[in-house]
A and B are shown apart, each in its own frame.
Chain A
Amino acid sequence: MFNWLHRLGSSKIFFEISGRWQVSLLSLSLLMLAGGSVWALLFVPPDYQQGNSVRIMYIHVPAAILAQSGYVMMAGAAAIFLIWRIKLADIAVKCIAPVGASITFLALVTGAIWGKPTWGAWWVWDARLTSTLVLFFLYVGVIALRAAMERQASAGRACAILALVGVVNLPVIKFSVEWWYTLHQPASFSLMEKPAMPAEMWLPLLVMVFAFYLFFFAILILRIRNEILVREKNADWVKRWLEVR
Chain B
Amino acid sequence: MNLFFASVQRDLLVHFRHPSEVLNPLVFFIVVISLFPLGIGPEPGQLKEIAPGIVWVAALLATLMSMDSMFRSDFEDGSLEQVVLSEQSTFTFVLAKVVSHWLLSGLPLVLLMPLAALLLFLDEAGVWALTLSLLLVSPTLSLLGGIGAALTVGLPRGGLLVTILVMPFYVPVLVFATAMVHAAEAGSDTIGYVYSLLAILFGSLCLAPIATAAALNLATDQ
Contact = CB atoms under 8 A, between A and B. Distances in A.
A151 B167 contact: no
A166 interface: yes
Nearest to B178: A180
Interface string B195-222: 0000010010001100100110011011
A137 interface: yes
A118 B211 CA distance: 42
A40 interface: no
B161 interface: yes
Contact of A154 (B164, B207, B208, B221): B221
Contact of B151 (A138, A151, A158, A176): A158
B164 A176 contact: no
A88 to B, nearest CB: 20
A154 B222 contact: yes
Contacts of B208: 165
A13 B97 CA distance: 45
B176 interface: yes
Interface string A157-184: 1100110111011001101110110000
A38 interface: no
A144 B167 contact: no
A220 B151 CA distance: 26
B179 interface: yes
Contact of B154 (A138, A154, A166, A173): A154
B215 A172 contact: no
Given A137-B167, A154-B154, A154-B221, A180 B175 contact: yes
Interface string B149-181: 001101100100100110111011001100100
A140 interface: yes
Given A144-B165, A145-B165, A154-B221, A165 B175 contact: no
Contact of A145 (B161, B167, B207): B161
Interface residues of B, number: 28
B147 interface: yes
A161 B200 CA distance: 20
Contact of B171 (A144, A149, A161, A177): A177
A166 B152 CA distance: 16
Contacts of A138: 168
Q: Is the interface of A mostly helix, strand, loop or mixed?
A: helix
Contact of B215 (A130, A158, A169, A179): A158
Nearest to A149: B155
A148 interface: yes
Interface string A25-55: 0000000000000000000000000000000
B214 A173 contact: no
Contacts of A148: 152, 155, 158, 161
Contact of B165 (A141, A164, A168, A176): A141
B211 A176 contact: no
Interface string B100-120: 000000000000000000000
A176 B176 contact: yes
Interface string A120-146: 000000000010001001101100110
Top 4 nearest A-B pairs by Cβ distance? A176-B172, A141-B165, A176-B175, A137-B168
Given A130-B171, A161-B215, A177-B172, 4 more contacts: A137-B168, A141-B165, A161-B218, A180-B179
16 contacts: A130-B171, A141-B168, A145-B151, A148-B152, A154-B154, A161-B218, A165-B147, A166-B168, A169-B172, A172-B172, A172-B200, A173-B169, A173-B171, A177-B171, A177-B175, A179-B175
